[in-house]
Amino acid sequence: MLETATRLFYAEGVHAVGIDRIIAEAGVAKATPREMLLAIFDNVGELGHDPAYRGCPFVNAAAEYPDPSHPVRQAISEHRRWFRTLLRNLLAEGGHPDPERTADLLVALKDGLLIAADLDDPARKGVIRDAVTRLLDGRAPT
């Protein structure tokens, strides 16, 4: 389903594609925005399991091209805007009370998870789910 959403959003834009279309084209049962958010972050967690994984390709490319006006950095910025918009829209559809701020926090979490997957033990799916759930529920860490 994530692959279908990515393909449609890139081809037609985030505002032109709704969740019902993604579900129909992916051929899956309708998931709640919360389930979709958790699935996105499950996917992020899976990246670190690949023995060839050597960090987030966007972070790696940004390190190679530090000038924000460079076309590579512009492409990275566009991808980050797309991802944040996807998260914000899912949060808003799910009735989250603060989709803007929570989307920002989830993007920061994703960045940290992708770096940690390269530096730490990638088999930390429970930690990822816990972090996302705490953000979605507005719970403070214990």
> Where residue 71 sits, what CATH number does that domain have?
1.10.357.10
How large is the average pLDDT for residues 94-102?
Answer: 94
Residue 16 tokens, joined: 């032109």
26 with 37, same domain? no
Residue 50 three-state SS: coil
* Same structural domain, 75 and 7: no
53 and 24 co-located in one domain: no
Q: What is the pLDDT of residue 125?
A: 59
Span 60-82, mean pLDDT? 96
Given phi > 0 = left and psi -120 to 50 = alpha, else beta, which region is 79?
alpha
| CB neighbour list of residue 114: distance below 8 Å, 6 or more residues apart | 44, 47, 48, 55, 56, 59
Total domains in the chain come to: 2
In a domain, 142, yes or no: no
Contact by Cβ (8 Å): 53, 117: yes
Structural domain containing residue 2: 1-30
Q: How far apart are CA 113 and CA 93, in angstroms?
A: 25
| pLDDT value of residue 121 | 67
Together in a domain, 19 and 85: no
> Does position 85 have pLDDT exceeding 90, yes or no?
yes
